[in-house]
Chains A and B, each alone.
Chain A
């Protein structure tokens, strides 16, 4: 019998010459991606980490058994009830934004499994689709148990089906990145930038914090998911190399576009968790430090190796690491009822830690928290609305998130007029992405546009209903303002 290494290459490369159809009919450019290249050009496509289907099934089965074993041991409601409430709310944020986004990635992978231009690529993408199916199911399974304890966990499944503003932003990203992109753009945006560039932040950085917080279930979940990532993420590199060889301008454009869009997503999801929702004693590094260790160095090295330039907005991005997630968190805290999870108020110890980690920029944010804290002191515990905004805010017409570019002193919002409509953007890169493909984005209605057109209500309380939120679900302060340090300071 042949050894694995002797037959695997033969089994990976199963392309044949078409005799009664044109190659362009089998792989139309519209759905296979640009630049369109002949099969001959793709022949040397290679994924360094090899997997046969038999090995895949065997390995995945072991991984599944292992997740189930941990769930049996520490995945019950009472296990989660032991954790700090802040941590639990970080879980709600992750579970909701993760589960169905992973399901959307099934679609992207399946498109590549049919329209990817090399058979080894298509096979790797097919296994990727099976991976993503699993990544959707694991959080749904684990969090389902928790719904009877805390109905906010219901949003693990519900989130992407709502008109909540974060879901609108999430769909705007996920629909383009995972559901509608062609396999070449998917390979750059998802496999290369998202999975190779960013997910280590989540799956290695955050799982380290989960370990420190004693949440073995979350740690196991993200680690198990991560073991699949490198296998299908490796599609990105060889596809990007081909685009660079034949259309370097497009390669640079796709990298620049998707790095920025993915950055904003991770800044909110992971930035909130690492710097605000993980209890201080369990924080191993700041979001910024994780970004530097797991994203910046490696991403810069990858770009250099491939002969690509750093994105044109690199300095702006470096500045944003110090500010952006702090801006969004402060903004979202004061509009917490518009979300499905609860927010922690950073106390004196947290603020000292944030000052150490963000020495240059934290002095801009500290007064905001001082003011919020003073309002809590004035109102007393339980009076959520005294530290809450009352009028709807403005959103970016590209990323659909609140206008939180720049700093508290100088917002980086930009406005353009196109036809009869004005468009506002949180930052230059968001504006640049929109203006690069305006026909793709111009008809999308952000929250404000929906209000102005009568589709959504303008009154905040009615808007909460439009966001699918009810009093038992909508976000509150995690302690209802009852912080031991707040009482102490009072005296």
Chain B
């Protein structure tokens, strides 16, 4: 699937995150300083939207059970065995574009522990 325009860069403030749905896939956008990261908006634990949780410094915390992730990499901090599913991001003409691969939504990414 090609890159899709999500929203203007200016609408996503530094230190903020937003969840949106693009053709059935829940997308989480996070802005740390000048860099924008995109992940599937599903906690690896039970699929709860990460965008309903907290972003503090560069740590994302799920609101349901406090699973936490590094916002810059999507790698789990607690537990370490999980990760968020990343999407490629680029900025064109002041807009955020995200490449959403055609994988079935709802795929879980919990590593075997």
| Chain A interface residues (CB < 8 Å from chain B) | 46, 48-51, 59, 200, 203-204, 223, 226-227, 229-231, 237, 294, 298, 301, 305
Contacts and interface: CB of A to CB of B under 8 A. Distances in A.
A423 B111 CA distance: 46
Contact of B65 (A46, A231, A237): A231
B59 to A, nearest CB: 13
Contacts of B87: none
Given A46-B113, A48-B113, A298-B46, A230 B78 contact: no
Interface string B76-108: 001111100000000000000000000000001
Given A230-B45, A298-B46, A305-B112, A48 B80 contact: yes
A226 B65 CA distance: 7
20 contacts: A46-B113, A48-B79, A48-B80, A48-B81, A49-B67, A49-B78, A51-B78, A200-B46, A204-B48, A204-B64, A223-B64, A226-B65, A227-B64, A227-B65, A230-B45, A230-B65, A230-B66, A230-B67, A237-B113, A301-B108
B20 interface: no
A230 B110 CA distance: 14
B63 interface: yes
A229 B65 CA distance: 7
A46 B79 CA distance: 11
A59 B46 contact: no
Interface of B: 45-46, 48, 63-67, 78-82, 108, 112-113
A221 to B, nearest CB: 14
A231 B66 CA distance: 9
B79 A50 contact: yes
Contacts of B79: 48-50
Closest 7 CB pairs of A and B: A230-B65, A48-B79, A48-B113, A49-B79, A48-B81, A227-B66, A49-B78
A244 to B, nearest CB: 14
B19 to A, nearest CB: 15
Nearest to B66: A227
A230 B62 CA distance: 12
A131 to B, nearest CB: 12
Contacts of B112: 305
Contacts of B46: 200, 204, 294, 298
